[in-house]
Amino acid sequence: MTLSISLIVNGEQKDIALEDPRATLLDVLRDRVGLTGTKKGCDRGQCGACTVLVDGRRINSCLALAASQDGAEVTTIEGLATGDDLHPLQAAFIEADGFQCGYCTPGQIMSALGLIREGLADNDPERIREGMSGNICRCAAYQGITEAVIKGHKAMTDTGESQI
Amino acid sequence: MPDTFPTSGAHTRMGSNSGQPMTRRDGLAKVTGTATYAADNRPEGVLHAVYAMSSEARGQVTSLNVAAALAHPGVVHVMTPENRPPLARDPDSKPGGMALRTEALQDNSVRYVGQPIALVVAQTLEAATEGAALLSPTYAVEPARIGFDGGEAFETDSTGFGSPPTVNVGDIEAGRAAGTHHFDATYETPLQYHNAMEPHAIVAEWDGDHLTIDTPNQAIVMARGAFADYFDIPAENVVLRSPYLGGGFGSKALPIGPQLLTILAARELQRPVKLALRRDQMFGPVMHRGATRQRLRLDMDETGQLTAIDHHTTATTSSFDTFIEGASAASRNTYASPAIATSHSGVRVDTGTPGAMRAPGEATGSAALECAVDEAAEVMGLDPLEFRLRNYAETDPQTGKAFSSKALRECYALGAKSFGWENRPLAPRQMRDAQGHLVGWGMGTALFAAHMNKAEARAVLRADGSAMIATAGADMGQGAWTALAQIAADGLGLGIDQVEFRSGDSTLPNGGVAGGSGHTATAGSALFAAGEGVIRKLADLATEDPESPLFGAGNAGVVARDGRLHRADDDSRSQSYSEILRNAGVEELEGKGEGARDPGHAEARAMFSHGAVFAEVKVDPELGQVRVTRLIGAFAAGRIINPHLARSQLLGGMIWGLGFALMEEGIHDKRTGRPVNGDLAGYHVPVNADVPMVEALMVHEDDDFVNPLGVKGVGELGITGSVGAIANAVWHATGVRPRSFPIHLETLIG
């Protein structure tokens, strides 16, 4: 049985014929839409590497069945930069060395964006650490991540981007 | 206390690139999601593989319902021991050097939970996953042997990949007798699993007898050779691409069974096949850190000088291979003592085979040694730093050799000052914070050998004065794309933007192993030498050209800088690289370089990186909950190529120490051998909220012996010292001596 779903991915409509209803949003993004920036670290919602925004809120895309997301607006790491212009959070992650191997980084950045948009970052390192703790970084670039969220948040506030 | 510290600024420049805190050159790719990790490759027509894993720890698989799996829509192939095509190299062979046995369906036996027992290949990942579940294996189960007291004890003839298990210095009995104060305790560390964020993955594709594999690997050319051996093809027929590793930590160097099976399936089906391990499969065939039980006996004279160090380790390994965590080695080189005895033995348990995991041996050994030394200081009534200084090793205790460089005293001083150690009360349970939490301060010495392996590099200077330079290096997050390019550019006397640095691919010269904290030193030396080779040829062209301002400078020599050669004795006389090439009618110049330790220097000097780590913990007196509130390390590791990235490496290592001390513990059920916490919800690693304030300070160190670059290594240094520092702080807060890791809160209350 084929299920037809439609996703708005980074502003573009994607009509997808799902031959297999068991496919997760993560696997559909990676294997069907071809956006492999979103990573699979655990496939069970324990590491945060697959974090994307769905309708503006951060979720673990490995825990969402694609079939249940019909009509959703999905933002992935590929949707943040405008041409060659990095999103302020992306630039801040580079500047603060908020990663090493980079595998968790797309999820970290999407989670940071969600956190800021949820109004939970509050420019407070302690709240950021707590709010980013669903995203494991085995290289343990945590200090850089926290610094990047503060810097990125500030840059977003300056340009008005942190408003929903 | 500030929330963050500024980066230490004292770094020597080498050329115009090294020594600079450049951001990562691969940063753009990594923050935009365009960095291609192995599983991101999607060749046309790719099939998906999933391996079925044993749910039993020991015995035989007696049946698999292959028909059910094959009947599932989308499943195209099921590989079992019955139909697995032959491998040219026996997966149970160990051809020496860095090699371990692996499980690739060689028979029906089961050696540990998580072992591959079949491979299912399908059109989709979902179908392959379902197909693997439909195999419904049955087993003839034998009792699992788990834990130090559950397995078979044996004497080992090696630790790690072939290191000597026993090293003795002086007369241990005489040393013991010379002591007036004695300390004797046993420490335990658990199994730990690497758990890189990127699970092991491979995409394999054949073209005739040529194999292309995308798979993360820390030793690209070495692994290419091993893969070629398994498939009986020349090494040059294998292309292994590994531009980015999503973490390695020692687990991604040796071929493992699931990779071999995927390659076999790709050949059988004549289609590209992809396999990515599930997180629960990261607790079986991809190595781990074996558990250790370490007995430390320290003897001191009345002044607090050690007269004997006796360190014996028992470590777990698998039932079918031997990799012993060489923990006792930590006691060979850290503290001065006229008598040192270090030895190891093993226990065989029904887990996968352990292997190298970040600071193999050193991490566990340092944890126990630093705790023991702290306890010995308490026996002597001495401040732990004072005790360490009284036992400072001016020469290498194991060999008696001079150190190539050792700024540990400076590390102690800088770390102690930054931390505020001088205000530390000697007795435990003296400090509380405003919330009534017990506060404790502890410290540990960090030590890691300055290893080098062997690497090669090739550089080509082009007509336009830019250059290409290449080595098959591996960036698993440590920053090779950046730091190696910095060194390469300096070797060529060019700005980094004039250099195209190629790496991460087996078609390039052997970049050696990204392991043992020796990659920057080794591959960096090869790259620098390749650049120098080009410059030598270029200098010959210029100094022999009567039209060149450098003509006749052969004796005085030339200096390469910013794309120009300058006379060494007259800086104003110079010529650009491109002009030299053009005038000589030469299109391009090639240079080759090798990186390896100078044998004479290796014979003459002992070579280690050092550091001192200081920890503050707060412990809830009611609940025993431990929080690390400050962790400050000061490290001396030779010349630092990129302080920005070296700091990140050191911080990462220190936080691994935090995880070791308080969280990480692979628990296998004693009855079944199954991992009880085989995922990231159960196997705890530090998350952001666990890491409030951590800082790595760097102490400048010149070293003329380790290699011409003066580079040691920082990848594993941070974890050593940190575990002990945290455990000792827990004692200082609570008065309870942790002797088992991770430190469980129930041991701190009562």
Give A-chain residues touching B34 at CB under 8 angstroms. 37, 78
What is residue B9's predicted lDDT score, i.e. its pLDDT? 35
pLDDT per position as a tens digit, B421-455: 999 999 999 999 999 999 999 999 999 999 999 99
Given B35, B246, B688, which is nearest A133 (Cβ)?
B688
Domains of chain B: 38-142+200-276 (3.90.1170.50), 292-451+603-747 (3.30.365.10), 455-596 (3.30.365.10)
**Interchain CB contact of B3 with A (< 8 Å):** yes
Helices (H) and strands (E) in chain B, counts: 16, 30
Query: In chain B, whose CA is at the least distance from the CA of A148?
Result: B31
Question: Would the CB atoms of B691 and A40 count as touching at under 8 Å?
Answer: no
* Cross-chain CB nearest to A27 (options B4, B125, B690): B125
Distance, in Å, from the CA atom of B220 to the CA atom of B241, rounded to the nearest integer, reads: 8
Distance CA A47, CA A138 (A): 10
- Decide if pLDDT at B14 tops 90: no
Q: Which site among B23, B663, B687, B693 would you substitute to test the A interface, given the most A Cβ atoms closer than 10 Å to its Cβ?
A: B687
B699-718: pLDDT as tens digits: 999 999 999 999 999 999 99
ipTM of the complex: 0.98
Find the CB nearest B688 among A22, A109, A129: A129
Q: What span, in angstroms and rounded, lies between the C-alpha atoms of B53 and B673?
A: 13
Nearest CA-CA distance, residue B480 and chain A, Å: 10
Closest C-alpha among B285, B286, B310, B288 to residue B299: B310
Smallest CA–CA distance from A32 into chain B, residue: B42
Confidence of residue B13 (pLDDT cuts 50, 70, 90): very low
Q: What is the mean pLDDT of residues A107-120?
A: 95
Flag if A138 and B247 touch (Cβ within 8 Å): yes
Q: B31 and A139: CB-CB below 8 Å? A: no
Provide, rounded to the nearest whole percent, the portion of chain B with pLDDT above 70.
Answer: 98
Task: Among A18, A78, A126, A138, pick the best mutation site for testing chain B contact (most B Cβ within 10 A).
Answer: A138
| Predicted local distance difference test score (pLDDT) of residue B10 | 36
Residue B140: the pLDDT is 98
Cα end-to-end span (Å), chain A: 38
Restricting to B residues 450-479, those with a Cβ less than 8 Å away from any Cβ of A are 475-479
Dihedral sign (CA B88, B93, B94, B98): positive
Q: Say what the pLDDT of residue B557 is.
A: 86
Please state whether beta strands B402-403 and B605-606 pair in parallel, antiparallel, or not at all (unpaired). parallel
Rounded Cα distance between B460 and B376, Å, is: 57
Count of CA atoms in the C-beta half-sphere (13 A) of B334: 32
- Partners of B655 on chain A (C-beta within 8 Å) are 140, 142
Angle in degrees, CA B416, A126, B664, rounded to 5: 70
The mean of the pLDDT values for chain A is 95
Give the separation between CA B215 and CA B275, rounded to whole angstroms.
10
What would the pLDDT profile of B484-503 be if each residue is shown by its tens digit?
999 999 999 999 999 999 99
A133 touches chain B (CB under 8 A): yes
Residue the block writes with tokens 């090696």: B158
What's residue B747's pLDDT?
Answer: 95
pLDDT tens-digit series, residues B540-592: 999 999 999 999 887 778 999 999 999 988 999 999 999 999 999 999 999 99
Task: Report yes or no: B649 at the A interface, CB cutoff 8 Å.
Answer: yes
Cis amide prior to B742 (ω within 30 degrees): yes
CB contact under 8 A, A130 and B688: yes
Q: Which residues of B touch A86 (CB under 8 A)?
A: 28, 31-32
Predicted confidence at residue A163, as pLDDT, reads: 55
CB contact under 8 A, B246 and A22: no
Task: Tell me if chain A has a CB within 8 Å of the CB of B125.
Answer: yes
In the residue annotation, B588 being an active-site residue is answered as no
**The amino acid at A3:** L
- pLDDT digit string (tens) for B229-252? 999 999 999 999 999 999 999 999
Segment B161-168 mean pLDDT: 96
A97 contacts in chain B (CB < 8 Å): 23-24, 644-645, 647-648
**Residue A162 confidence (pLDDT):** 66
In chain B, the residue whose alpha carbon lies closest to the alpha carbon of A145 is B688
B134-150 pLDDT, tens per residue? Answer: 999 999 999 999 999 88
Among B501, B492, B502, B503, which Cα is nearest to B465's? B492
pLDDT at A50 over 70: yes
For residue A137, the model assigns a pLDDT of 98
In chain B, residues with a C-beta closer than 8 Å to the C-beta of A107 are none
Length of chain B counted residue by residue: 750
Could you give the C-alpha distances from B200 to B24, B262, B329, B603, B682, in angstroms and in order?
A: 24, 12, 30, 38, 20
Predicted local distance difference test score (pLDDT) of residue B96: 79
Residue length of chain A:
164
Task: Please give the full DSSP string across B478-531, using - where no structure is assigned.
Answer: S-HHHHHHHHHHHHHT--GGGEEEE-SBTTS-B---S-TT-HHHHHHHHHHHHH
Predicted pLDDT of residue A92: 97
Q: Provide the Cα torsion A124, A125, A127, A128; round to 10°.
A: 110
Query: Of chain A residues 85-124, which have a CB less than 8 A from chain B?
Result: 86, 90-91, 93-95, 97, 99-106, 109
The confidence score (pLDDT) of residue B387 equals: 98
Average pLDDT of span B318-337: 97
- The model's pLDDT over A136-163, given as tens digits with 9 standing for 90+, comes to 999 999 999 999 999 999 999 888 776 5
Q: CA of A99: which chain B residue's CA is closest?
A: B477
Of chain B residues 660-679, which have a CB less than 8 A from chain A? 679
Query: Which of A47, A76, A102 is closest, CB to CB, to B477?
Result: A102
Q: What domains can you pick out in chain A, each with its CATH number?
A: 3-77 (3.10.20.30), 88-159 (1.10.150.120)
Number of H helices, E strands in chain A: 5, 5
CA atoms within 13 A on the CB side of B522: 25
Can you say whether the dihedral through the CA atoms of A143, B445, B323, B59 is positive or negative? negative
User: Is a pLDDT exceeding 50 seen at residue B6?
Assistant: no
